Copies of this chain bind each other. A is one copy, B any other.
Amino acid sequence: MANQGDRAGNVTFVNRFTVAGEPDDFEKAFARIAEFMTAQPGILGYTLSRDIGNPKRYVNIARWEDAQALRAAVARPGFQEHVQDLRQLAESESDLYVERQCYLDESTPAS
């Protein structure tokens, strides 16, 4: 069923992209950085989603156990190379948030 409650410490990283070139190329490059990130300890999940009205705009939303886990991941060898690949393809703006309320419907099949 559902769970709800205080997630003190969980953080959400929101990264909004504007793609300069082909969205397909961006999605492929993003998948590579995502493979790297999802192998790091402390990641709870991520989505990459495309603006419904603008195929050049995307948002990456990643949840982490805490800010320290995220900082450790971006300090790992290899991360900067992935970021440079993405920077060739898109501009981005990011913000980091601490979770205050959370609800996940776990009764819904995952895919």
Name A's B-contacting residues (CB within 8 A): 2-7, 11-12, 14, 27, 30-31, 34, 38, 43-53, 57-59, 61, 63, 65, 67, 95-106, 108, 110-111
**Copies of this chain, count:** 2
Q: Which residues of B contact A51 (CB under 8 A)?
A: 95-97
Residues of B within 8 A of A111 (CB): 3, 5-7
11 A-B residue pairs with CB within 8 Å: A12-B49, A14-B59, A30-B101, A44-B105, A45-B105, A46-B101, A48-B102, A50-B100, A52-B96, A52-B97, A58-B97
Q: Are B38 and A103 interface neighbours, CB within 8 A?
A: yes
CB distance from A48 to the nearest CB of B (A): 4
